[in-house]
Structure 1
Amino acid sequence: MTSFQMPNSADQINLREWLDEQSRQLGFDGLRITDTHLGDASERLNQWLAEGRHGQMEYMARHAQLRSDPGLLVPGTVRVICVTMNYLSPVIDFDQEWQRLAEPTHAVVSMYARGRDYHKVMRNRLQEFALLIEKQIGSFGYRVFTDSAPLMEVELARKAGLGWRGKHTLLLNRESGSTFFLGEILVDVPLPIDQEEESHCGTCQSCIDICPTQAITAPYQLDARRCISYLTIENPDAIPVEFRRAIGNRVYGCDDCQLICPWNKFAQRTALPDFAERHGLGRASLLQLWSWTEDEFEKRHEGSAIRRIGYQRWRRNLAVAMGNALADEAVSEVDKDELREVLRNALPTSDEMVVEHIEWALDS
């Protein structure tokens, strides 16, 4: 039970200024506060689930009721402190990202995953923030989250005023586009809430047009089963043949809808060393990543979000990209011979799923 008493108006302003300052010192780039009422968002989620658009992300359906009300997830919650943390490394250049997508033998890893696992970075800093708040205002009830619980994070952040939902369903804001992570502190303190942000997408639908697999089926409508991020990360099974060509050389996630978004010309670079590129993931070739043994995969991706997909999915994704390189007329025969050789050599020691993708690649 909280011992906190709401201060007068002047002290509320001082508290809010203190929260903003402390959040900045901890590396957060935005902070807003909202209540727990999500309106018709839960109905839209249930409709999305009923249509099966979540694919095999069964956890989305399993905890759907909790997602509809943060107060059910953490009893006593009346406010949600929402924060953002920019992740874009200073070395990332969007023009170069497009160039790499056009180079079939290069491997493309989603920009957010090239540094440390954001779950750990955000969670530790959110916990530190909550303890600082407790020292400032006294004992109160709270829990911290970052993509780690049945919580409608984007909707809460939107409602708190951290941005608006883009037509690709990601959160956008005018200061940093969409290249940031979200985190929350659920609290039992009735802090003053912030106003929502108006949408600024207008008639633009660049994200819809650019999607390689047409996963954005309409403005604000995403079919995860078609999304390359889902197919290469969340999907535990074989990648459907109908999407393999469209995946190109993307071996972990996809950034196309962010790269094309006009608002990301304002994308802010992070100053946090945690999100600096590791192991050359922004410039590695398919052959370099394929050469990693399972032990090397585990060691190199220690502390990385990529490690969660495991070695077999990693090889599955690489095999698809290598098959696309083999089918590309721009790739030299010398490079193709090398790709074929390493794929054939891997057949005897690969599991059934990876073998199926290797054979598909060799038939390209």
Structure 2
Amino acid sequence: MRVTAPDAVPEAPGRLSAFLAAGHHAGMDWMAARAGERADPSVLWPEVRSIVMLGLNYGPDLDPRAALGDRTGGVISVYARGDDYHDVVKKKLKSLGRWLGEASGVALKVFVDTAPVMEKPLAAAAGLGWQGRHTNLVSREFGSWLFLGSIFSAADLPPDPPESDHCGSCRACLDICPTAAFPAPYRLDAGRCISYLTIEHKGVVPAEFRAPIGNRIYGCDDCLAVCPWNKFASVAREQALSARQALKAPRLADLARLDDAAFRALFRKSPIKRVGRDRFVRNVLIAIGNSGDAALAEEAARLVGDASPLVRGMAVWALARLDPARLSHEAAHARESDDTVLAEWRAAGIVVNTTPAIVLTTQPVIPYR
């Protein structure tokens, strides 16, 4: 826990403006919509006089990159393998906030990721760490594995000194990125980032990024995991943040069979629940298409007829990579009217029937009166 002032990062507005102007926020329009509040904490809450920044360790017990070699399993970002960090961190912040409120007698507000707060530069200003070349916070004690939360207080609290940059000449985090999402050190183009593409992006994943995604089905830890400062990190002791065994090495075949109810049950306490079943299965199908495992073609074939266009499109792409002959067979009785799915069929060199199917109903017919 460290303290900083609301105006401790005077360069933040300019950096945010350049980020937005370059379009590096991709489809995250909410960043631009509340840019004024994001750039200046006093705009978000005029009463703020001090900001208490909290860092919570979520260090993994193993290097998450090890699972990238098992192409029949999916890789889920470390932060999402335990309970939803929003709930875990907010609970701790509220407890700390009650103590601060009683001690200071002034108003305060608690924020965890969902509010327009530039947590990483504020955490650096407070001395929790520094923003590395991958734009994430790096700590000499916890490496790149810290959740962040903030308490805005109306009390004038003494600020802690900021942390200096200790990246030196290292560029490991930049060089390891599978999609070249860093146009320059300390700059991220979110539209190319696998974490954005598998979590925030709502539509079809652009074709150029599908193969580099590999079997990453939710987020990407490569730039975090390669950081040399992780050698000082410790495994998270918070039980709620410990990885569930089922999410350490989930089988793609099992995940492809999730319907909405099963998805909600599996990820009930996880941040993954926020993306919904269709976007998640979209990601699973990309991993299936990259697996090189012909046995998984059956899962892709079954999902060619899924109710979701997002799922159908990725099923066509995956099946085209694993078993083109099977895809041609599926085309014989496929009917499709969604433009994005039709584009996937065309990319596979196949023309399908665009005439809507006749749907028979068993509902009683009520005569017009």
Matched, 1:126 2:82: no
Give a deviation string over 1:23-70, Cα, whole Å, max 9, x none: xxxxxxxx1100011211111111110111100001100000011111
1:78 maps to which residue?
A: 49
Superposition deviation, residue 133 in structure 1: 1.8
Matched, 1:192 2:124: no
Matched, 1:93 2:78: no
Whether contact under 8 Å (1:213, 1:227) holds in the other structure is yes
Partner amino acid for 2:3? Answer: I
Give a deviation string over 1:89-133, Cα, whole Å, max 9, x none: 4xx211xx3331122111100001000000011112111111112
Superposition deviation, residue 178 in structure 1: 1.1
* 1:277 alignment partner, one of 226, 243, 246: 243
Whether contact under 8 Å (1:279, 1:300) holds in the other structure is no
Matched, 1:288 2:259: no
Superposition deviation, residue 71 in structure 1: 1.1
Give a deviation string over 1:278-308, Cα, whole Å, max 9, x none: 2511111211222222211101111210000
Partner amino acid for 2:6? Answer: T
Gaps of 5+ in 1: 1-30, 327-334
Gaps of 5+ in 2: 322-369
Superposition deviation, residue 313 in structure 1: 0.3
TM-score in terms of structure 2 length:
0.85
Q: SS in structure 2 opposite 1:84?
A: strand
2:20 maps to which residue?
A: 49
Superposition deviation, residue 83 in structure 1: 0.7
Q: SS in structure 1 opposite 2:300?
A: helix
Q: SS in structure 1 opposite 2:10?
A: coil
Aligned partners of 1:301, 1:102: CA distance in 2, in Å?
24
Superposition deviation, residue 181 in structure 1: 0.2
Count how many residue pairs are aligned between Structure 1 and Structure 2. Answer: 320
Q: SS in structure 2 opposite 1:363?
A: helix
Aligned partners of 1:166, 1:260: CA distance in 2, in Å?
12
Aligned partners of 1:302, 1:204: CA distance in 2, in Å?
39
Larger radius of gyration: 2
1:111 maps to which residue?
A: 78
Superposition deviation, residue 233 in structure 1: 0.1
Aligned partners of 1:347, 1:363: CA distance in 2, in Å?
11
Aligned partners of 2:17, 2:149: CA distance in 1, in Å?
23
Aligned partners of 1:203, 1:306: CA distance in 2, in Å?
35
Give a deviation string over 1:234-254, Cα, whole Å, max 9, x none: 000100000000000000000
Q: Which runs of 4+ in 1 moved over 3 A?
A: none
CA RMSD of aligned residues (A): 1.1
2:106 maps to which residue?
A: 140
Aligned partners of 1:136, 1:76: CA distance in 2, in Å?
18
1:62 maps to which residue?
A: 33
Whether contact under 8 Å (1:88, 1:275) holds in the other structure is no
